[in-house]
Structure 1
Amino acid sequence: MYVRTTEVRGDPAGIDDGLRIVREEVFPAVTGMDGCVGMSMLVDRESGRCVATTAWQSHDAMMASADGVLPLRERAVQALGSTGGGDVHEWESAVVHRDHATPDGACARLTWLSGGQDMVDRCIDLYRLVILPQLQEMDGFCSASLMVDREAGRAVGTTAFDSMGAVMAAREATARIRERVVGELGATVDGIDEMEIAFAHLHVPEMA
């Protein structure tokens, strides 16, 4: 499975209009493309930061969709009040585990890492063997996933919780896990986001 993410810094006042465009126009169009298995959108209503994700059955399907999704992306970016085109990145979906579906009000923590190309396989192993079992024990845990870019030596882990309160309650525990893993990998933390799961229709199969 493969994933394309688009990161946008929009106008906080435009979040709801952007979400409406995603639901009514972008989602039906992109999920009608060959090989698409869903879409999600995470938002930070204070900063205007948004991360839209589309999932694809194969790398070929993701690449074949590039021209078709371009006008849809431009439409959504404009509705969100962003003056840029968005930061687009393509990933391999390495680990996916769901405990239960995300309810209304669910939120997520995203941790972005970078390192050498030899970091990626070790990162996947640590995520499966060390990180995921601990995340599953946290109150409010819904699901977790890891996406990797082997060529760039990058990874992003996403953990979904039932609420922002659960995200906040897990901060200390996840920070301890992150410190240990980053030290073992020799990786750099490029960013940590805590965001509302505003739209969740990804149908990526279990890959734990």
Structure 2
Amino acid sequence: MYVRTSEVRGDPAKIDDGLRLVREEVFPAVTTMDGCAGMSLLVDRETGRCIATTSWQTEDAMRMSADTVRPLRDRAEMALGSTSGSEVHQWEVAVVHRDHAAPDGAHARLTWLSGDQAIVDRGIDLYRMVILPQIQAMDGFCSASLMVDRAAGRIVGTAAFDTRESLEASRGAAANIRTGIVRELGATIDDVEELEIAFAHLHVPEMA
């Protein structure tokens, strides 16, 4: 499985307008494209930052959809009040584990890492054997995933929790895990974000 992420900074006051467009127009359109498996939208209502993710059954399907998806992305940017466009990335899905579907009010923590190409396979093994079991044990755990860009040596891990409160309660334990990641991989933590799961229909199968 593969995913495309589109990161955009919009107007916080227009988050609901953008979400309405995603639900009513973008999601129905994108899921009719060959090889598309679903879509999700994460938002920060205070800053206006949004991350839209579409899932694809093959890398070819993802790449071939690029031109068709672009007008939908443009419309979403306009609805969200963005003036700077989107930052688009393509990823391989390496690990997915879901305890249960994300309920209304679910939130997620995204951890972005980078290094040389060698960190990717080591990072996948470390995530499966060491990190995922620790995340699963946290109160309110919902699901977790790991996406990689092998050529760029980039990794992003996502941990979803049932509520904002359970996400916040896990911050200390998550910080300890990140310290271990840096030590084991020699990677750089580029960013850590906490976002609301506003739309969750990504439909990526279990890949633990």
Give the drift of 1:74: 0.3
Give the drift of 1:63: 0.6
Per the alignment, residue 84 of structure 2 pairs with 84
Distance in structure 2 (CA, Å) of the matches to 1:177 and 1:193: 15
Normalised by the size of structure 1, how large is the TM-score?
Answer: 0.99
Distance in structure 1 (CA, Å) of the matches to 2:77 and 2:22: 10
Normalised by the size of structure 2, how large is the TM-score?
Answer: 0.99
TM alignment of 1:1-208, pairs within 5 A: 1-208=1-208
Deviation digits for residues 134-154 of structure 1 (CA, Å, limit 9, x no counterpart): 011000000000000000000
Name the SS of the counterpart of 1:6 in structure 2. strand
Residue identity matched to 1:18: G
Name the SS of the counterpart of 1:34 in structure 2. coil
Segments of structure 2 that go 5 or more residues without pairing to the other structure are none
Deviation digits for residues 2-60 of structure 1 (CA, Å, limit 9, x no counterpart): 00000001110010000001111100000010000000000000000000000000000
Moved over 6 A (4+): none
Distance in structure 2 (CA, Å) of the matches to 1:8 and 1:126: 30
Distance in structure 2 (CA, Å) of the matches to 1:196 and 1:4: 19
RMSD: 0.5
Deviation digits for residues 147-191 of structure 1 (CA, Å, limit 9, x no counterpart): 000000000000000011001000000100110011110111111
Distance in structure 2 (CA, Å) of the matches to 1:8 and 1:27: 17
Distance in structure 1 (CA, Å) of the matches to 2:132 and 2:54: 23
Give the drift of 1:124: 0.3
Distance in structure 1 (CA, Å) of the matches to 2:40 and 2:164: 17
Percentage of matched positions with identical amino acids:
74
Equivalent pairs, count: 208
Distance in structure 2 (CA, Å) of the matches to 1:153 and 1:35: 26
Segments of structure 1 that go 5 or more residues without pairing to the other structure are none
